Amino acid sequence: MVSDAEELSEGADPVAVAVENARRKALAVEAAAPVLGVDTVVVLDGAIYGKPADAAEARATLSRLSGRVHEVVSGIAVVEAGEMRTASAATRVRFRDLDAATLDWYLATDEWRDRAGGYAIQARGAALVAGIEGDYLNVVGLPVAALLDLLPGILQGGAQAGV
């Protein structure tokens, strides 16, 4: 279920922004089962890059990331039995140098749409990446290791398996 929570797009602390957005998403959904909210942002030189509004913004973001190392920060929030638990994860991603032809190719795929930082590492966006340090699944958009720390019983199919 997708929430209609309003997301923050700016803040001094990217971790706090991602966790707050995850918290808002989790609180916006009413369910008998536990609710998981997740938000991912890209951070470069202290600036937060969310989902580009259009292809021009995607090009500008990808151009800034070109040849540089940025951080992908995810916040997760779980609401269960009226209790809120949160966590975060961060992964460093190093982009290849992106020339105009590569940018044109990637933007034409439309894969940048609805993606923090304007790319999807799990698909064609992998061609933009030279390497990562940290949790690959965090860059995809769900830091599973952090989720398992919040909900260790999920693997055993306990009460938390509804997430």
Would you call 110 a catalytic residue per the annotation? Answer: no
Q: Determine which one of 39, 45, 110, 135 is catalytic.
A: 39
Q: DSSP per residue over the chain, as a string?
A: ----PPPP---S-HHHHHHHHHHHHHHT---SS-EEEEEEEEEETTEEE---SSHHHHHHHHHHHTTSEEEEEEEEEEEETTEEEEEEEEEEEEEPP--HHHHHHHHHTTTTTT-GGG--TTTGGGGGEEEEES-HHHHHT--HHHHHHH-GGGGGTSGGGG-
What residues act catalytically?
Answer: 39
